[in-house]
Amino acid sequence: MWEMSLMGLVAWVAGAQSPALQTVPPVRIVDTAVRYPVAAQSIGGINAELRAYATAMERSEQGHTRSEIEVSSQLDPTPGVCRIATAEVSLDVTTTLPQWQAEPAAKSEVRAQWERSLALLQRHEAGHRDNAVDAAESLRQAVLALPPQKNCLKLQMAISLQLQRMRWQLELRDESYDLRTRNGLRDDPRRMGKTLDIARQDGTAQRREWPARHSNANEMMPYTGH
């Protein structure tokens, strides 16, 4: 699942003599990973725990991504004109996924099916993160391109307009992505050929090409994201 919130912070620097804005720093990205435990050791038990989690969270999916995009700026008012003195776009992404607490004696076929299903879900949530990163960068470029205005109120409104426009575009992009992938039940054809670090249960990582085949999907419940 994707969620998004926006915040615009604007400060006016009265009497400042700073020059017109030349650059905006790169988007500041903070990633947070949240994992919820799955303790069952059979496919049926794992599926039951995943359904219970989704029900408890009032969701229909087992993974979700929340994105918070913020733009902060300082405006430089001078007689007859207002410019952006400084500006920064930041993105906070929180990705929530299940984590299987496999016992040493766990069956190899259960391990294999868990890894396949989790890898597909990870790739889906990574797609939502990519959408948010692209949106934040587009916002950065839009803020950078804003011309000076006659007064700071108009410039502040122009920044807010870019925020709202980015929000609308990101919502449409995520909705389209969920439709193409059926909320993570299949890989996105537009992301073919990309690679992703897939975390193993032992904490190490492996590289996988898109897409990894999801065989035996009827044996383990396909995990969904949004």
Which residue matches tokens 């700073």? 18
CA distance 67 to 32: 10
Q: Residue 107 pLDDT > 50, yes or no?
A: yes
Mind listing the pLDDT tens digit for each residue in 48-77?
999 999 899 888 888 999 999 999 989 999
Range of the structural domain that residue 81 is part of: 2-209
Q: In Å, what is the CA distance from 146 to each residue of 21, 80, 159, 185, 213? A: 10, 17, 8, 40, 46
Domain membership flag for residue 224: no
pLDDT value of position 210: 34
pLDDT value of position 226: 58
Count how many domains the chain has: 1
Domain membership flag for residue 216: no
Mind listing the pLDDT tens digit for each residue in 34-52?
999 999 999 999 999 999 9
Domain membership flag for residue 44: yes
Residue 197 exposed, middle or buried by CB count within 10 Å (0-12, 13-18, 19+)? exposed
CA distance 223 to 119: 10
